[in-house]
């Protein structure tokens, strides 16, 4: 007789399918947005502008997916880390995940505020335009631009740390941590 085990429980150390798919969708969207922001910087104005239109739409999508993921997480606990995980790794994991969630919310919001203050509409893939959330103000837009870039670089650093941790757990520790987030 087969026993049914719920994902995210002690018996099954995997995340739920919904959490896994949201993780990968958000992760790929974040990496895409980092690439769009960094790799289109020196391109002709029209090309850069078009790429930034996609960047803005993906950013708002990341915000919505993150809010959905947080709501999902409220009802579905993350599976526990293996019992032999060193305390410094548990602490680091909590800090990095907190920073990820904070940036996944603050980064798109800062971009939205920046674009609003700059008087630039945020179009969502040609489907609709979201309303501005700040009054036009060039000085404020400049400040938000700087903050958005700093948060973007911080997100890049976190992504690198996260990927290095995945490599460490999978290939050095060989503790199968990657299987917790494997969608297949």
CA distances from 107 to 7, 58, 71, 99 (A): 30, 12, 19, 11
- Structural domains counted in the chain: 1
**pTM across the whole model:** 0.91
* Domain enclosing residue 166, as ranges: 17-180
Q: What is the CATH number of the domain that holds 38?
A: 1.20.950
Residue 126 lies in a domain: yes
Residue 154 lies in a domain: yes
pLDDT digits (tens, 9 = 90+) for 80-126: 888 888 999 999 999 999 999 999 999 999 999 999 999 999 999 99
pLDDT bin (cut points 50, 70, 90) of residue 7 is low
């Amino acid at each position: 007789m087969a026993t049914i085990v719920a994902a995210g429980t002690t018996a099954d150390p995997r995340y739920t399918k919904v959490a896994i798919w949201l993780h990968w969708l958000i992760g790929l969207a974040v990496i895409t947005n980092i690439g769009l922001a960094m790799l289109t910087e020196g391109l002709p104005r029209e090309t850069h502008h078009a790429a930034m239109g996609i960047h803005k739409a993906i950013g708002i999508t990341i915000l919505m997916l993150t809010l959905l993921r947080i709501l999902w997480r409220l009802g579905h606990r993350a599976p526990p880390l293996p019992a032999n995980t060193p305390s410094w790794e548990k602490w680091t994991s909590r800090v990095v995940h907190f920073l990820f969630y904070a940036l996944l919310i603050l980064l798109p919001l800062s971009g939205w505020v920046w674009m609003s203050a700059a008087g630039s509409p945020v179009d969502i893939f040609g489907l609709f335009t979201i309303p501005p959330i700040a009054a036009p103000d060039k000085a404020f837009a400049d400040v938000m631009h700087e903050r958005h870039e700093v948060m973007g670089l911080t997100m890049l650093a976190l992504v690198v740390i996260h990927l290095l941790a995945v490599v460490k757990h999978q290939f050095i520790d060989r503790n199968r941590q990657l299987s917790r987030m494997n969608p297949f």
